[in-house]
Amino acid sequence: MRVATTSRAKVDDQWTDQTEWHTVCCFGKTAENCQRYLSKGRQVYVEGRIQTRKWQDKDGNDKWSTEIVAKDVKFVGGAPPIGTVPARDPTPADKDIPF
């Protein structure tokens, strides 16, 4: 998934926002829960490690990708916006998912 972080700073008496985009990799139950319950604009807390991978594009040029490998993802910021629904209805087994 892609996650944005935004910082705000005052420059020349003007407030400016700087947004950075991050790729977050999740596995197992964490990935399943993110797929089911996250939607665009939903706030999350992600804890994990940074990983940089080297790969080659179709022309053989070296490229690097830096991503966050999530250890823990918590859903924060309240309920999803009205009108959005999870990817599927939760089953009784999903009731122990921490939000």
pLDDT digits (tens, 9 = 90+) for 14-61: 999 999 999 999 999 999 999 998 888 899 999 999 999 999 999 999
69 in Cβ contact with 51 (< 8 Å)? yes
**The pTM is what?**
0.66
> Is 92 inside any structural domain?
no
> Is 95 inside any structural domain?
no
What is the mean pLDDT of the segment spanning 58-86?
83
Confidence of residue 90 (pLDDT cuts 50, 70, 90): very low
Tell me which residue range forms the domain holding 32. 2-81
- Tell me: pLDDT of 95 over 50: no
Q: What is the DSSP string of 6-51?
A: EEEEEETTEEEEEEEEEEEE--HHHHHHHHHH--TT-EEEEEEEEE
| pLDDT tens profile 59-68 | 999 999 999 9
pLDDT of residue 92: 43
Closest CA to 53 of 42, 43, 36, 66: 66
CATH number for the domain spanning 74: value is: 2.40.50.140
**Coil, helix or strand at residue 64:** strand
Looking up tokens 């309920």 gives 79
Alpha carbons 84 and 37: distance in angstroms, whole number: 10
